[in-house]
Amino acid sequence: MAGMGPAPKDPSRRARRNKDTVPQTLLRWERAEAPELPDFRVERDGELTDFVWPERTREWWQMWIDSPQAEHFGSSDWQYLLDTALIHARLWRGELSAAAELRLRVAAFGATPADRARLRMVFAEADGADEGRGASGGPSAKERYGQLRSLPGGKTGTGSGE
């Protein structure tokens, strides 16, 4: 399936330092607020009727608004997600053929643990949670072992197997 391979390695960690063939475009980022699910009319059997969002889609939309990823969404992200909400509504109205497209679209936003791993997203811990702890979250080596010194009488071999 296209687009599901691993994310490219960070250029600073590559063994070969070939230049990228396509230059990067730097954009100014602006956070956007989530829009409301819109009211609109749809044509059914030749008549215009009000579209009613399934309750499950309203809950899904609120979940995205409250998600940690939302603070990184720009206006185009919210518009894409709004279109995705229509696909979500189709699925919850029984149109099972919408499931594959919905899965692909929400994967781009890091919906599942596997999606977040592929996108290299991690959840940050609270700022003060790691004070006095090592990177692993436990006590640092200095706290565990203090000032270790070698014991007298140990071998000081030359490394040649003596």
pLDDT in the model for residue 60: 97
Average pLDDT over every residue of 83-92: 97
Domain boundaries, the chain: 30-125
Lowest mean pLDDT among 5-19, 34-48, 116-130, 131-145: 131-145
Tokens (6 digits) for 12:
């600073």
Whole-structure pTM value? 0.63
**pLDDT, tens digit (0-9, with 9 covering 90-100), for 31-72:** 899 999 999 888 888 899 999 999 999 999 999 999 999 999
Give residues with Cβ within 8 angstroms of 115, minimum separation 6.
Answer: 106, 107, 108, 109
**Is pLDDT at 96 greater than 60 in this prediction?**
yes
Q: What are phi and psi of 41, to 5 degrees?
A: -115, 150
How large a percentage of the chain has pLDDT more than 70? 84
- Output the CA–CA distances (angstroms, integers) from residue 58 to 34, 62, 155, in the order listed: 13, 6, 71
pLDDT score recorded for residue 27: 84
- Rounded CA-CA distance 10/114 in Å is 19
Note the pLDDT of residue 15.
77
C-alpha torsion angle, residues 132, 138, 139, 140 (rounded to 10): -90
